[in-house]
Structure 1
Amino acid sequence: MHDLSILAIIWVNVFIASFMAHRTRLTPVLWYLFCGAAMVNLGLLPEAMPVFIVDFAELGIIVIMFALGFEEDNRNFLRSLKRSWGIALFGAVVPFAVAYGLARWAWDDHNMALLCGLAMTATAVSLTMVSLKSEGLSRTPAATGIMTSAVLDDIGSLALVAILIPVATGEASITLASIAVIAGKAALFFIIVTFFGAWLFPASEGFAKRIPLLGHLNLRRILAMGEGEYTVLALLLIAVAMGLLGHEFGFHPAVGAYMAGLIINREYFSFHSHRQVDFHERAKQIVDNVAFTWIGPVFFVSLGTELIFDAELALQVLPYALLLFAGLFVGQIASAALAARYTGGFDWPASLMIGFGMLGRAELAFLVMDIAYVQYSIMSAQAFYTLMLATFLLNTSVPLTIRWWKSRYGGTAIGST
């Protein structure tokens, strides 16, 4: 089968998955995975994807992670840190401990358990915000708390991906010195990214403007080239370049892409043009379209092709998946809600809504599973299927619990103390 024929089949499935997601009000990611699994088990997609599709899928997750970072307002993020740090911390530690403990008990493999815990740590903020928006709750204090906490979770999880993947893959041994080296590389990478965001991109406006050559640089000038026609190209180039930089430090390129999106400010798009266009909003729409409509979904459909149906295996892992789902459901809601109440100062209705809103798992979870199961074969098929089933149940729970909790309180906007 020609590589382009495979891509065409994948894109057909993106249409099908998007239609099903709209009808069921579930995240499209779940349907992408389902369609990929269905196509490979029906023999319509190959079990081993060609290099072209593999590379195209990797570009997809890079653009997705860049888009997620790009949509965050880092100023609101910084302002909300004080109130949300506890939700992010305790709302991540408990799921990690639950998944790690169950995986260690079930399969007795420390490295695999580490990555199972890591996969279940970060919250799928996009799924939660869509669910809140559909219920008219997207601008409540609870929604702000969920958003900020989820971003903190993602950043912490990305840092852990950078540190734990080399350890789990055997590229670095678990010694104090090796962990210090990995942590040092992670810190250096984030320092370099911070340098780009704080000094290099706006160089002609800060103290760096007095430095020869460097002082003439400014990201706004690059984005303004050709009356803004090259804005999206410049953004995607930055995403890929930061991804390659992260790769040079031993991290997955998606880590660098996310950080690249996070450090690009709206002010860089305030340039003069004869056209009356909001270049930031226009770029965001195009990047989102690329990430979530036609390149990004290829990653998830391809990942779904790893789910070769095996009735015996499915029955074998079902008890573990249900146990993991139950543990994460209770642990995530309890830890996030208690943290929201006692460290964030939210009232109980808002605190429980935050707990429900942090149940979802999406992009980062699938990224970790892809690295662990597909790229490095650290994760067994049993563990992979267990995480997939538990993730499906968790994501299904998000819109259902939010809708139930809204009706329980009469649909009123949720306030804070």
Structure 2
Amino acid sequence: MHDIAILAVIWFSVFLASFMAHKTRLTPVLWYLFFGALLVNLQVLPEKMPIFITDFAELGIIIIMFALGFEEDTNNFLKSIKRSWGIALFGALAPFLVAYFIALFFWGDKNIALLCGLAMTATAVSLTMVSLKSEGLSQSSAATGIMTSAVLDDIASLAFVAILVPIATGEASVSLDGTLLIVGKAVVFFILVTIIGGWLFPTGSGMIKHIPLIGKVGLRNILAMGRGEYTILSLLLIAVLVGLLAHEFGFHPAVGAYMAGLIIQKEYFDFHQDKDIDFYHQAREIIDNVAFSWIGPVFFVTLGCQLIFELELFLSVLPEALMLFAGLFIGQVASASLAAKYTGSFDWPSSLMIGFGMLGRAELAFVVINIAYVQHKILSVEAFYTLMLTTFFLNCSVPLTIRWWKGKFQS
């Protein structure tokens, strides 16, 4: 089959998955994975994707992570940290430890256990917020707590992915020197991103405006080229370039793309005198459409194509998947709820809603699974299927528990 024909099949499956997600009110990611697995097992899609599709899928996850960072309001995020730090800390530590020790018990491999813990750490922000919005709860205090905590979880998880994945893959030693090297590279990378966001992008204001050449070129001027006609191109270029910078430091490009989105400020889009066009809102809509409707989903469909159906294998890992799901469900809800109550001063209904809202696992989990299983072959087939089934169960539980708790939450 021609590469373009494969892409056409994948895009058709994305269309069907989006339709099914709307009908079932489940996250489209689950349906992307389902159709990927279905089509590869029906031999409509090949088990080994051509390089064009794999590279296209890689671009998809870069844009997805950029979009997730881009949609965050950095100022609100920083203001909410004080109340949500405990939810983020304990709500991430508990699932990491649960997944790590259960995986270590099942397979006896510390690298597999480490990556299973990483995959199960970060909360799916988009899944939870879509579920809350569908129930009319997106503006509640619980939603704010979930959002900030989930973003903190994602940033911490991205940092741990950057530091621990090279160790797990054998690209860096477990020695003190090797660990310090990875930590040092991570620190340098995040310092560079901070410099880009704090001094390079806002050029044209402050002291830096007096520097020849550089002081004349700020991100606002670049985005304003041609009455904003090149805004999206500029943003995608930034996502890819910062992703490549992360790659040069030995990290996944998605790490850089997320940070690139986070440091882009709304005021950079305040250009021209035409008040009829909200360039920031327009850019957000287009980036989200690219990330979640036609390029990003290719990543999840191709990841689903890794699920070659074998009934015996599915039945063999089902007990492990159910045990991991039960452990993560209890650990996540208990840790996040208790932290919300005692470190964030939320009431009990809101605290439990936060606990339920942090159950989802999506983008970052699949990034880690893709790195560990597809790229580096660290995960065994059994571990891969266990994680995929567990993720499926956790994501299904988000809209179900939120809908169930809504009555008690609002009473």
Q: Tell me the TM-score normalized by structure 1.
A: 0.98
The structural deviation recorded for 1:204 is 1.2
Q: How far is the alpha carbon of 1:274 from its aligned partner?
A: 4.1
User: 1:306 — aligned with what?
Assistant: 306
Residue identity in the other structure for 2:235:
L
Deviation at 1:212, TM superposition (A): 2.2
Paired position in structure 1 for 2:118: 118
Asked whether the equivalents of residues 17 and 35 of structure 1 are also in contact (C-alpha less than 8 Å), the reply is yes
Partner of 1:140: 140
Secondary structure of 2:61's aligned partner: helix
Structure 2: how far apart are the matches of 1:245 and 1:369?
22
Equivalent residue letter for 1:201: F
Q: Equivalent residue of 1:137, what SS?
A: coil
Partner of 2:86: 86
Per-residue deviation, residues 173-216 of structure 1 (Å, max 9, x unmatched): 10111100000000000000000000000011122112222211
Q: Structure 2 unaligned runs (5+)?
A: none
Aligned to 2:216: 216
Matched ranges for 1:106-255 at <5 A: 106-255=106-255
1:384 aligned to 2:401? no
Cα deviation digits, residues 326-363 of structure 1 (max 9, x gap):
00000000000000000001010100000000000000
User: Residue deviations 1:43-77, cap 9 Å, x none?
Assistant: 00000000000000000000000000000000000
How far is the alpha carbon of 1:273 from its aligned partner?
4.2
Q: Specify the code of the residue in structure 1 equivalent to 2:332.
A: Q
Counterpart AA for 2:121: T
CA distance in 2 between counterparts of 1:356 and 1:125 reads: 12
**Structure-1 separation of matches of 2:371 and 2:96:** 17
1:280 aligns with 2:280: yes
SS of match in other structure, 1:80: helix
What residue identity is the alignment partner of 2:41? N
Contact 1:227 1:273 in 2 (8 A): no
Deviates further, 127-136 or 273-282: 273-282
Distance 1:79 1:275, change over 3 A: closer
- Look up the match of 1:76: 76
Measured in 2, the distance between the counterparts of 1:50 and 1:302 equals 11
| 2: CA distance, partners of 1:68 / 1:372 | 22
Paired residue for 2:329? 329
Letter of the 2:213 counterpart: L
Asked if structure 1 preserves the Cα contact closer than 8 Å seen for 2:61 and 2:299, the reply is yes
Matched residue type, 1:333: V
Q: Could you tell me how far apart the structure 2 residues matched to 1:235 and 1:62 are?
A: 12
Q: Distance in 2 between matches of 1:217 and 1:378?
A: 44
Matching residue's letter, 2:406: K
State how far apart, in whole Å, the 1-side matches of 2:152 and 2:275 are: 37
Question: How far 1:275 moved relative to its partner?
Answer: 6.5
User: What is the Cα deviation at residue 110 of structure 1?
Assistant: 0.4
Q: Which amino acid aligns with 2:179?
A: I
SS across alignment from 2:137: coil
Instruction: Kindly provide the amino acid, as one letter, of the partner of residue 210 in structure 2.
Output: R
Aligned residue in 2 for 1:43:
43
Distance in structure 2 (CA, Å) of the matches to 1:121 and 1:29: 18
**Partners of 2:207 and 2:371 in 1: CA distance:** 41
Question: Are the counterparts in 1 of residues 349 and 408 from structure 2 also a CA contact under 8 Å?
Answer: no
| Equivalent position SS for 2:204 | helix
Q: After superposition, give the CA deviation of every residue in 1:5-34 in whole Å (9 maximum; x if it has no partner).
A: 100000010011001101110000000000
Q: Deviations over 1:360-407 (max 9, x none)?
A: 000000000000000000011100100110111101000111111112
Show CA shifts across 1:77-128 (max 9, x none): 0000000000000000000001000110100100111000000000001111
Q: Tell me, in whole angstroms, the C-alpha distance in 2 between the residues paired with 1:36 and 1:174.
A: 36
Supply the distance in 2 between the matched residues of 1:408 and 1:82 (Cα, whole angstroms): 27
- For residue 291 of structure 2, what is the aligned residue in structure 1? 291
TM-score (normalised: structure 2): 0.99
Tell me how far apart the structure 2 counterparts of residues 180 and 212 of structure 1 sit (CA, whole Å): 37
1:34 equivalent in structure 2: 34
Figure out how many residues of one structure are paired with residues of the other and give that number. Answer: 411
Contact 2:85 2:152 in 1 (8 A): yes
The amino acid across from 2:190 in the alignment is F
Separation in 1 of the partners of 2:2 and 2:265? 41
> What is the RMSD of the two structures over their aligned residues, measured on CA atoms?
0.8
